Amino acid sequence: MKQYADMSAAELSAVKKELEDAFSKYAENGKKLNMTRGVPSDEQLALCNEMLTCLSAEDYHSINGADCRNYGGLDGIPEMKKIFAELLDLTPDEVIVGGNSSLSLMFDNVAVNMSHGVREGQPWNSQGQVKFLCPSPGYDRHFTICKYFHIGMIPVAMGPDGPDMDMVEKLVSSDPMIKGIWCVPKFSNPTGIVYSDETVRRFANLKPAADDFRIYWDNAYAFHDLGSTKAVIPNIIRLCEKSGNPNMPHVFASFSKVSFAGASVTCMASSKSNCEYIRKRLTAQTIGPDKLNQLRHARFFKDAAGVMAHMEKHAVILRPRFRLVYETLRRELDGLGIARWTEPEGGYFISFDSLDGCAKRIVALCAQAGVALTPAGATYPDGSDPHDANIRIAPTCPPLSELRDALEIFCAAVKLASAQKLLS
Amino acid sequence: MKQYADMSAAELSAVKKELEDAFSKYAENGKKLNMTRGVPSDEQLALCNEMLTCLSAEDYHSINGADCRNYGGLDGIPEMKKIFAELLDLTPDEVIVGGNSSLSLMFDNVAVNMSHGVREGQPWNSQGQVKFLCPSPGYDRHFTICKYFHIGMIPVAMGPDGPDMDMVEKLVSSDPMIKGIWCVPKFSNPTGIVYSDETVRRFANLKPAADDFRIYWDNAYAFHDLGSTKAVIPNIIRLCEKSGNPNMPHVFASFSKVSFAGASVTCMASSKSNCEYIRKRLTAQTIGPDKLNQLRHARFFKDAAGVMAHMEKHAVILRPRFRLVYETLRRELDGLGIARWTEPEGGYFISFDSLDGCAKRIVALCAQAGVALTPAGATYPDGSDPHDANIRIAPTCPPLSELRDALEIFCAAVKLASAQKLLS
């Protein structure tokens, strides 16, 4: 196997010609394949179909006696709080259950800190230009929240153990206008890496210049292991208690990729004291989340062990998809010196890095050949990848046969874009 | 029947003595009766029990082909938008479907206008002290939103045809810091009055000093008629189009008191152009509302006619409760010159006015006798009724027998508080 960089111009041109011919045929085939989003597959959704009918005219009461069909309750029925608490190794009074979208919980949290301040603090929006640290590549929807609130975004490099903690510590301790950081600590979106114990420990021991600095700990893939050995990350809330900064972390979790992405339950977790503040706000904000859907979840999953057993069924479905990506990328691209990628043991994404300056071209080539990918750059603040190299691969939704076709085209696009780049 | 005001001190003292004895007995009985909230009764909730099981492993697709179990869709599935549009006499692209709480839609709307401004306008919070007109008595949760955002509240008197429109027109046209008004146009909370055609027409023809003034038209009881003749109010959105102010009204509606208060669907409606702005915000704010619950509603109700037929079943249950209140109040209090009340033909509340300075005392007496009422003053901004006269009666939830007991105690409390007041 010869690296592209070691090829002569003639060799590269031959490669290029061959691939261009292949692409003409792909375009003619007119296939439409979609790898844009981290969307559960039909098979995964079917795992929960029983939830569609698990309540009845005889079963709609919560364990606390509340009629879940009626008004009442702001922060979740006891059984759902208990399940989240068990899963996150917290107590139920550290949990606030929300509706279908954990993104809303994060948005609201940022919104209220901007307009009303953190707890009794000064509103962020009255203090000057607020900034957030944005480990990148990261989740585009986090960055969209910052953009919406005109919050400055400072990219921080992501490594195999998490964000560059030297940089995080330096910035957070020196700049009081840095008010937050976005983290996806387990199977990070999109790199799939798991924060190391040391990374989490350093997060808990941050000494922010701003006393209203908050860690947005979006544990979106907390239960989403593919392998038989489960990845475990330290409990950020307990560690922050120990470090004397108990109110610093805001943890988010979601059943969007556990039950139904279109009818889920989500939660926010934080110190008891923070939760009390949030409940006060909820009184003004809402008559409360859908309780029947919480009860459906509690009936179907029963407890945290039920959730974990269910996640193993997801893993059985997803494992072959991730394996297919790894096998195809290795077979097609290993040794060519034109690509690097992660091979996570959980989550929903694989992060792919091409040669610098090739990502947009690869995505465009795929689009011409009928394969839709997440826009290049989407994983960086403002949609702008300084290296134009990162692409997020989302293998969960397409059936295996479609995924195979899509990956063939993707690898060809990587090769063609690389050859074009090296010849230019 | 002698008016209390015409009684001699001796006569009044005798009345007072008799009632004080009665209250000692009520307290001993130790009954617990609750008339605090506009909560549907068990019988009403049971009307929708079929909705608990109406989806299945074979039925989870929207008419547009979308799998409602999965991600996708920000503003409602087509069938639910259509039902709301039919009910409100609008088009589906003037409707945005939300989650379980219309209060959240209102809160979010105020929040974004404060932080980001109305459309391309200047953020409200950067313009100085924002004020809202608050027709009073009104809905306490509207006032709580104002309070949360430090919005000044200007009470406006409520009459039989709606708010005092002379005052509304004068204030709105002269003060550019008045940015909004809260309206419950049909079966207003708590007076139960229906805005007259003339009132609605005058709303649509307001000439606000602020070009970012908005009408918050909370049509919470739009389908909640008790009588066989349905109350009809003019279409505020169409009238505002005609008056050249198409973006002024924001309409809200909810199925909280149609299906399940604990698992409802809600909507916001406005001009197409306003809805486009809102959809842009929703992209940052949420992955979307629960689609399966929308589909449940669409399957169960089928269309607007199905909703209206269903509301007649609610009316059959509620009519005797409201009648019982009217009969009891007339029998016990008519002619005594100590009370006035409304007798609405729909909605969830009856507004009761005692002699000035008696409402708190009446609520306290009821509490001692085991009857919980909405706190006196709750229907006014800051919970402060300048006359200490208004009490909101919520007769929907207690079974008839309990309601009868509670009303007996309530009327006794009104008499006792009045006698005490007149003797003091």
In order, the DSSP letters of A7-18 are S-HHHHHHHHHH
Digit-coded pLDDT (tens) for A70-105? 999 999 999 999 999 999 999 999 999 999 999 999
Provide CB contacts within 8 A for A126, sequence distance 6+.
none
Residue B150 falls inside a structural domain? yes
Digit-coded pLDDT (tens) for B340-358? 999 999 999 999 999 999 9
Residue A53 falls inside a structural domain? no
Mutate one of A43, A265, A292 to test the B interface: name it (highest B CB count within 10 A): A292
Q: Kindly tell me if the per-residue pLDDT of A30 is higher than 90.
A: no
| Packing angle of the helix pair A291-301, A78-88 (nearest 10 deg) | 60
pLDDT of amino acid B217: 98
End-of-domain residue from the set A237, A270, A302: A302
Confidence band of A177 (pLDDT split at 50, 70, 90) = very high
Residues B264 and B378 in one domain: no
Q: Kindly tell me if the per-residue pLDDT of B1 is higher than 80.
A: no
In order, the DSSP letters of A382-409 are GG--TTS-EEEE--SSS-HHHHHHHHHH
Quick check: bond before B190 cis, omega within 30?
yes
Are A195 and A236 a contacting pair, CB within 8 Å?
Answer: no
pLDDT over 70, % of chain A: 100
Confidence band of B413 (pLDDT split at 50, 70, 90) = very high
Rg (C-alpha) for chain B, rounded Å, is 23
Q: A320 is written with which tokens?
A: 């072959």
Confidence band of B38 (pLDDT split at 50, 70, 90) = confident
Residues A136 and A274 in one domain: yes
Question: Are residues A101 and B287, on separate chains, in Cβ contact within 8 Å?
Answer: yes
Residues B25 and B115 in one domain: no
Nearest to B291 among A111, A262, A287 (CB): A262
| H or E, element range at A372 | strand A371-373
> Scanning every residue of chain A, which has its alpha carbon at the shortest distance from the alpha carbon of B142?
A284
Mean pLDDT within B235-243: 98
Q: Report the complex ipTM.
A: 0.96
CA angle B407, B411, B416 (to 5 degrees): 145
Instruction: Give the domain CATH number at A329.
Output: 3.90.1150.10
Confidence band of A34 (pLDDT split at 50, 70, 90) = confident
End-of-domain residue from the set A302, A322, A341: A302
Residues A139 and A170 in one domain: yes
Residue length of chain B: 424
Residues A140 and A184 in one domain: yes
Confidence band of B233 (pLDDT split at 50, 70, 90) = very high
Residue B212 falls inside a structural domain? yes
CA distance A324 to chain B (A): 23
Q: Kindly tell me if the per-residue pLDDT of A36 is higher than 90.
A: no
Higher pLDDT, A31 or B99: B99
CA distance A261 to chain B (A): 5
Provide CB contacts within 8 A for A74, sequence distance 6+.
A279, A282, A283, A286, A288
Cα separation, B108 vs B281, in Å, equals 10
Does A40 touch chain B if contact means CB atoms closer than 8 Å? yes
Residues B273 and B140 in one domain: yes
Residue B325 falls inside a structural domain? yes
pLDDT over 90, % of chain A: 96
Residues A283 and A345 in one domain: no
Confidence band of B208 (pLDDT split at 50, 70, 90) = very high
pLDDT of amino acid A363: 97
Q: Kindly tell me if the per-residue pLDDT of B29 is higher than 90.
A: no
Cα separation, B395 vs A66, in Å, equals 20
Nearest to A100 among B50, B55, B288 (CB): B288
pLDDT of amino acid B228: 86
Does A293 touch chain B if contact means CB atoms closer than 8 Å? yes
Residue A217 falls inside a structural domain? yes
Confidence band of A402 (pLDDT split at 50, 70, 90) = very high
Residue A56 falls inside a structural domain? no
Give me the torsion for CA of B98, B103, B106, B108, rounded to 10°: -70
Provide CB contacts within 8 A for A317, sequence distance 6+.
A41, A43, A44, A47
Does A288 touch chain B if contact means CB atoms closer than 8 Å? yes
| H or E, element range at A250 | strand A249-254
Confidence band of B34 (pLDDT split at 50, 70, 90) = confident
Total number of domains in chain B: 2
Q: Kindly tell me if the per-residue pLDDT of B138 is higher than 80.
A: yes
Domain extent at residue A37 = 4-44+309-423
Question: Are residues A114 and B115, on separate chains, in Cβ contact within 8 Å?
Answer: yes
Mean pLDDT of chain B: 96
Q: Kindly tell me if the per-residue pLDDT of B255 is higher than 90.
A: yes
Question: Are residues B148 and A104, on separate chains, in Cβ contact within 8 Å?
Answer: no
Q: Kindly tell me if the per-residue pLDDT of B249 is higher than 80.
A: yes
Q: Kindly tell me if the per-residue pLDDT of A1 is higher than 80.
A: no
Residue A9 falls inside a structural domain? yes
Residues B280 and B224 in one domain: yes
Provide CB contacts within 8 A for B373, sequence distance 6+.
B35, B36, B362, B363, B366, B367, B391, B392, B393, B410
> Scanning every residue of chain B, which has its alpha carbon at the shortest distance from the alpha carbon of A104?
B286
Residue A417 falls inside a structural domain? yes
pLDDT of amino acid A29: 85
3-state secondary structure chain B: CCCHHHCCHHHHHHHHHHHHHHHHHHHHHCCCEEECCCCCCHHHHHCCHHHHCCCECCECECCCCCECCCCCCCCCCHHHHHHHHHHHCCCHHHEEEECCCHHHHHHHHHHHHHHHCCCCCCCHHHCCCCEEEEEECCCHHHHHHHHHCCCEEEEEEEECCEECHHHHHHHHHHCCCEEEEEECCCCCCCCCCCCCHHHHHHHHCCCCCCCCCEEEEECCCCCCECCCCCCCCCCHHHHHHHCCCCCCEEEEEECCCCCCCCCCCEEEECCHHHHHHHHHHHHHHCCCCCHHHHHHHHHHHCCHHHHHHHHHHHHHHHHHHHHHHHHHHHHHHCCCCCEEECCCCECCCEEEEECCCCHHHHHHHHHHCCEEECCCCCCCHHHCCCCCCEEEECCCCCCHHHHHHHHHHHHHHHHHHHHHHHHC
What burial class does residue A196 get, using C-beta atoms within 10 Å of its C-beta: 0-12 exposed, 13-18 middle, 19+ buried?
middle
- Give the number of beta-carbon pairs within 8 Å between A and B: 178
Amino acid letter for position A363 = V
Cα separation, B19 vs B16, in Å, equals 5
Residues B105 and B252 in one domain: yes
Confidence band of A191 (pLDDT split at 50, 70, 90) = very high
Digit-coded pLDDT (tens) for A361-382? 999 999 999 999 999 999 999 9
pLDDT over 90, % of chain B: 96
Q: A117 is written with which tokens?
A: 């301040």
Biggest alpha carbon distance in chain B?
A: 77
Instruction: Please name the residues between 137 and 196 in chain A that touch chain B, using a CB distance below 8 Å.
Output: 141, 144-145, 147-149
Residues B288 and B324 in one domain: no
Phi, psi of B256 (to 5 degrees): -55, -35
Which residues in chain A touch residue B288, judged by CB atoms under 8 angstroms apart? 100-101, 262
Q: B354 is written with which tokens?
A: 């005692």
End-of-domain residue from the set B267, B302, B337: B302
Mutate one of A39, A44, A71 to test the B interface: name it (highest B CB count within 10 A): A71
Digit-coded pLDDT (tens) for A116-155? 999 999 999 999 999 999 999 999 999 999 999 999 999 9
Residues A348 and A237 in one domain: no
Instruction: Give the domain CATH number at B141.
Output: 3.40.640.10
Mean pLDDT within B392-412: 95
Residues B220 and B357 in one domain: no
Instruction: Please name the residues between 307 and 346 in chain A that touch chain B, using a CB distance below 8 Å.
Output: none
Distance of CA A140 to the CA centre of its chain: 9
Digit-coded pLDDT (tens) for A318-361? 999 999 999 999 999 999 999 999 999 999 999 999 999 999 99
CA distance B55 to chain A (A): 6
